[in-house]
């Protein structure tokens, strides 16, 4: 465990140091932002859509007769913004983005492409890790913002279409306990998840050994570890910021 | 000049290098031959600073690679070209992009990059294949593309890791001619790691046999034909029964 922690810390320091190689990583940033962020928007929106629908229906089921129905808007908004938007998106992107990064860099490692980068006098971490981690940091909050928007819209359409709730009542519930800090909290969490998913993918990909089997192992570990760290971080931010 | 002094390197219980000494004079090509698994590729990676020895020194010109900080090793690598056994082309890039990436890092002016990349690919007989991806090339073409990427920045030192392994005799001969032509054009100091005796005799000024982690024989291609060294004879004649260990 100590060895893993040491290796991870060493890797993080190396990645931070590699950020000084601006001319190496900057040209890769737009491509990585597209692959990590833009290409993740559809799956994040898809998940948020059904999360919003289910949240609205389940909260109305739970509230029936005891709590005014406009609290459906409150519950949908608060839950999507504070928890489900960032965490569900983070977990899904741990699979989509983290696995992709670990497999890609792992394959490069076992086919000597990482050594080739070194022999061309590039810093492999500046070329491979820095643009991906930076793209994760920047794009995850944007993807989550889209997901939050979609989840709330889905909850609103479900409430007005399937429940006995007007748009005004839904919005009233939505605004009742909303604080601008809620959104900031979600975006801070999302940015941290972006860093975790991409850097864990890079770490496991970069340290891959053992051919195709090693790439498979690294990919699985990257997803599992990223998911675990996301859940730990989720609790951490709740303790620190709420 | 490349100088290796008393290199030792072990992986767990496996002692791969056990005091390897070799000096390659400026402009000279030395072929390192040896059986599979003797540590030829490991040796080359030590020269390039991709691996660090347990003890011993690697000198490139007047600079020591072993123990040098990251920045110094990277600066040294700007003077090296490395042809990987697996070619190690970046598979997300076209052949030309692979070569351009090498040229960009070596500070080639932007206006010259396109022309130099085209020239390098033509030198290795890949003119017209610039836009292809590595997956679309045959094994021999990938090797040649790897050579083009390594030599495009016109390095002072060239390291070839099994440049002809897995190739048919005609392509092998083509690669040998390419190595000779580059030796002539670049006047680079080169180490060619191979187990292909014919290839070694064609391209090298001297041949070193790596056996049990050290140089067990060193001589010219002419000397190798008349030597009494059992291991060399076994290697040259491809006879297992002559090999000292068997």
Q: Residue B57 domain-assigned?
A: yes
Give the tokens for residue B218.
Answer: 């060193």
| Residue A1: per-residue pLDDT | 66
Position B168 confidence tier, pLDDT thresholds 50, 70, 90: confident
* Chain A residues with beta carbon closer than 8 angstroms to that of B85: 112
CA distance B143 to B121: 12
Residues of B in contact with A108 (CB under 8 A): 90
Chain B residues touching residue A122 (CB < 8 angstroms) = 105
> Looking at the domain assignment, is residue A147 inside a domain?
yes
How large is the C-alpha radius of gyration of chain A? 20
Name, in order, each residue with C-beta under 8 angstroms of A222's C-beta and a sequence gap of 6 or more: A98, A99, A101, A102, A200, A201, A203, A204, A205
Query: Mind listing the pLDDT tens digit of every residue in chain A (242 residues)?
Result: 677 778 788 898 999 999 999 999 999 999 999 999 999 999 999 999 999 999 999 998 888 777 888 899 999 999 999 999 999 999 999 999 999 999 999 999 999 999 999 999 999 999 999 999 999 999 999 999 999 999 999 999 999 999 889 999 999 999 998 999 999 999 999 999 999 999 999 999 999 999 999 999 999 999 999 999 999 999 999 999 98
From chain B, pick out residues whose CB is under 8 angstroms from the CB of A120: 77, 101-102, 105, 149
Residues of A in contact with B78 (CB under 8 A): 121
Q: What distance in Å separates residue A114's CA from the closest CA in chain B?
A: 8
Residue B181 lies in a domain: no
Q: Check: CB of residue B143 under 8 Å from CB of residue B165.
A: no
Which of A111, A115, A122 has the CB atom closest to B105's CB atom?
A122
Instruction: Report residue B169's pLDDT band, with 50, 70 and 90 as the boundaries.
Output: confident
pLDDT in tens, B28-87: 999 999 988 889 999 999 999 999 999 999 999 999 999 899 889 999 999 999 999 999
Phi-psi region of B52 (alpha: psi -120 to 50; beta: other; left: phi over 0): beta
Closest Cα in chain A, distance from residue B232 (Å): 31
Q: How many CB pairs under 8 A join A and B?
A: 47
State the ipTM, two decimals. 0.91
Interface test with A, best of B69, B84, B108 (most A CBs within 10 A): B84
pLDDT at position A50, please? 97
- Residues B105, A118: C-beta atoms closer than 8 Å: no
Q: How many distinct structural domains can be found in chain A?
A: 1
B26 touches chain A (CB under 8 A): no
pLDDT at A41: 97
In tens, the pLDDT along B136-155 reads 999 889 999 999 999 999 99
Average of per-residue pLDDT values in chain B:
91
Which of A108, A113, A119 lies closest to B82 in CB terms? A119
Mutant choice from B46, B74, B83 vs A, greatest count of A C-beta within 10 A: B74
- Tell me if A113 and B88 make a contact (CB, 8 A cut-off): yes
Average pLDDT of span B105-125: 90
- The answer to whether residue B19 sits within a structural domain is yes
Instruction: Confirm whether A68 is domain-assigned.
Output: yes
Give the distance from CA A162 to its chain's centroid.
31
Cβ neighbours of B80 in A, within 8 Å: 119
Please check whether residue B121 lies inside any domain of the structure: no
Instruction: Give the whole-angstrom CA distance, residue B163 versus residue B220.
Output: 20
pLDDT score recorded for residue B182: 85
Assigned domain for B91 exists: no
Q: Which residue has the higher pLDDT, B244 or B219?
A: B219
Chain B CB contacts of A112 below 8 Å: 84-86, 88
CATH number for the domain spanning B2: value is 3.40.50.300
Chain A contact present for B102, CB below 8 A: yes
Cβ contacts (< 8 Å) between B74 and chain A: which residues? 118, 121, 123
All residues of chain A having their beta carbon less than 8 Å from the beta carbon of residue B90 are: 108, 113, 116
User: Would residue A109 count as lying in a domain?
Assistant: yes
Instruction: Report the percent of chain B where pLDDT is more than 90.
Output: 71
User: Does residue B180 lie in a domain region?
Assistant: no
B28: exposed, middle or buried (C-beta count within 10 Å: 0-12, 13-18, 19+)? middle
Asked if the structure places residue A140 within a domain, the reply is yes
Q: Which residue of B has its CA nearest to A24?
A: B105
Output the CA angle B53-A209-A8, nearest 5 degrees. 85
A121–B106 CB contact, under 8 Å: yes
Taking the CA of residue B38 and the nearest CA in chain A, the distance in Å comes to 19
> B213 in a domain, yes or no?
yes
Q: Domain containing A117: what range?
A: 2-237
pLDDT at residue A205, rounded to an integer = 97
Residue A220: the pLDDT is: 97
Please, are residues B199 and B169 in contact by the beta-carbon 8 Å criterion?
no
pLDDT of residue B185 exceeding 90, the answer is no
Buried b (16+ CB within 10 A) or exposed e, A46-61: ebbbebbbbbbbebbe
* CA dist., res. A215 & res. A203, Å (int): 12
A111: chain B residues, CB-CB within 8 Å: 86, 88, 91
* Residue B200 belongs to some domain of the structure: yes
Which of B86, B103, B156 to probe by mutation at the A interface, max A CB count within 10 Å? B86
Q: What one-character DSSP code corresponds to residue A129?
A: I
Q: Do B86 and A119 touch (CB under 8 A)?
A: no
Q: Do A119 and B48 touch (CB under 8 A)?
A: yes
Count the domains in chain B.
1
B78/A contact by beta carbon, under 8 A = yes
In a domain, A242, yes or no: no
- Largest alpha-carbon pair distance within chain A? 71
């Amino acid at each position: 465990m100590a060895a893993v922690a040491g290796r991870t810390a060493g890797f993080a320091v190396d990645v931070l140091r590699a950020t000084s190689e601006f001319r190496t990583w900057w040209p890769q940033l737009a491509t990585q932002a597209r692959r990590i962020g833009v290409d993740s928007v559809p799956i994040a929106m898809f998940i948020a859509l059904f999360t919003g629908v289910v949240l609205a229906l389940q909260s109305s089921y739970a509230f029936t007769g005891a709590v005014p129905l406009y609290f459906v808007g409150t519950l949908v908004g608060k839950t999507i913004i504070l928890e489900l938007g960032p965490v569900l998106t983070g977990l899904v992107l741990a699979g989509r983005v983290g696995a992709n990064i670990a497999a890609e860099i792992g394959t490069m490692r076992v086919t000597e492409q990482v050594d080739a980068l070194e022999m061309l006098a590039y810093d492999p971490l500046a070329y491979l890790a820095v643009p991906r981690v930076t793209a994760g940091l920047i794009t995850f909050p944007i993807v989550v913002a889209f997901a939050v928007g979609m989840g709330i819209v889905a909850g609103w359409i479900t409430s007005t279409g399937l429940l006995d709730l007007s748009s005004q009542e839904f919005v009233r519930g939505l605004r009742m306990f909303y604080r601008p800090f809620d959104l900031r909290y979600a975006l801070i969490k999302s940015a941290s998840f972006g860093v975790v998913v991409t850097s864990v993918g890079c770490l496991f990909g970069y340290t891959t050994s053992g051919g195709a089997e090693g790439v498979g192992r690294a990919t699985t570990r990257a997803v599992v570890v990223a998911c675990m760290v996301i859940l730990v971080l989720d609790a951490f931010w709740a303790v620190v910021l709420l | 000049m490349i100088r290796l002094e008393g290199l030792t390197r072990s992986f767990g219980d496996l002692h791969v290098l056990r005091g390897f000494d070799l000096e390659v004079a400026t402009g000279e090509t030395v072929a390192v031959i040896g059986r599979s698994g003797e540590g030829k590729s490991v040796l080359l990676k030590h020269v390039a600073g991709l691996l660090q020895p347990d003890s011993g020194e690697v000198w490139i010109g007047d600079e020591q690679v072993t123990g040098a900080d990251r920045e110094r090793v990277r600066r040294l690598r700007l003077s090296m070209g490395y042809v990987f056994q697996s070619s190690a082309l970046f598979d997300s890039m076209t052949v030309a992009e692979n070569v351009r990436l090498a040229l960009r890092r070596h500070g080639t002016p932007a206006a010259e990059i396109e022309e130099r990349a085209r020239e390098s690919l033509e030198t290795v007989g890949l003119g017209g294949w610039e836009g292809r991806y590595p997956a679309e090339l045959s094994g021999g073409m990938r090797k040649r593309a790897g050579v083009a990427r390594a030599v495009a920045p016109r390095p002072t030192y060239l390291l070839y890791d099994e440049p002809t392994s897995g190739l048919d005799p005609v392509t092998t001969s083509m690669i040998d001619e390419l190595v000779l032509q580059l030796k002539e054009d670049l006047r680079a100091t080169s180490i060619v790691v191979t187990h292909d005796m014919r290839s070694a005799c064609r391209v090298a000024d001297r041949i070193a046999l790596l056996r049990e982690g050290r140089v067990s024989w060193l001589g010219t291609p002419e000397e190798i034909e008349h030597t009494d060294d059992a291991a060399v004879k076994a290697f040259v004649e491809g006879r297992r029964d002559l090999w000292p260990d068997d």
